[in-house]
Amino acid sequence: MIPLLSVGFLFLFLGFWQGYIVVREVPAFILPTPGAVGQKFWEMLKTGTLLREGWVTLYTILIGFFTGSALGFVAGYFSSRSRTFEEIISPYVMLIQATPKVSLIPLFVIWFGLGMPSKLLLIVLSAFFPVMVNTILGLRSVPDDYENLMTVLGASERQRVWKMEIPLATPMIMAGLKIAMVQSVIGAIVSEWMAGDRGLGYLLVYGSSLYDANLLMASIFATTFLGLGLYWSIEFLEKKLLFWHESRVAFTEGTG
């Protein structure tokens, strides 16, 4: 019943969209009809434009996201080992976190020019901090008695970290990865506006400069699908890794 209502809501939305254009006589270069946008989307898919530019955006996001998350995890791990180190760097981390990363793009363009390096750097930075902060938080919130258990059993430092601390911190780390993914997608699109010569973000600017509302809206939907797909991949990974976690349990019990 609920999925049916959801689909119904979509048709309602499309109906309003179409109806508004007809009643208010909105010109097509401002707001094209849903049919026209769908047609444009299909056409761009057929010619390969969407796939080609989408692929550029996708792999930029993936490289940046994985690099940034991996560095964030390593940095978070080492900061959590030493409270002194964490206290020394924490104001700077906060400072960089408070800086909207996209404000750095113009600077990156001066340093590295248009194209890939500037884009990647921005995405790496966007993914790095959420993962680092959540890794520290996750590793820090391991209850004392888990540590005591490992001490009683005579666990090595390596066993302590890999068999207990990191698995226990995984819910937090996954939450960080989700934020990092959302930030990476935003970072990629925005950097393609400003520093790109390829990609979905570039397509958006291109459509805007041509006053091609069809192209623009088709590209917006393409970025939506890309973002959704990436977010779902992370959620899927989380579901597999955290089958044991309470947030999952409540869900499965509720439906079962």
Shortest Cβ 165–another protein spacing (Å)? 11
Tell me whether residue 2 or residue 153 sits nearer to another protein (CB atom): 153
First to last CA, the chain: 17
Tell me whether residue 172 or residue 217 sits nearer to another protein (CB atom): 172
Shortest Cβ 155–another protein spacing (Å)? 5
Shortest Cβ 175–another protein spacing (Å)? 17
Shortest Cβ 249–another protein spacing (Å)? 5
Tell me whether residue 25 or residue 246 sits nearer to another protein (CB atom): 246
Q: Tell me which residues touch another protein (CB under 8 A).
A: 143, 145-146, 148-155, 159, 163-164, 167, 243-246, 249
In a 10 Å sphere around its CB, with 0-12 CB exposed, 13-18 middle and 19+ buried, how is residue 206 labelled?
middle
Q: Distance between CA atoms of 92 and 69, rounded to whole angstroms? A: 19
Which amino acid, 166? I
Which amino acid, 242? L
Tell me whether residue 140 or residue 245 sits nearer to another protein (CB atom): 245
- DSSP string over 188-255: HHHHHHHH-SSSHHHHHHHHHHTT-HHHHHHHHHHHHHHHHHHHHHHHHHHHHHTTTSHHHHHHHHHH
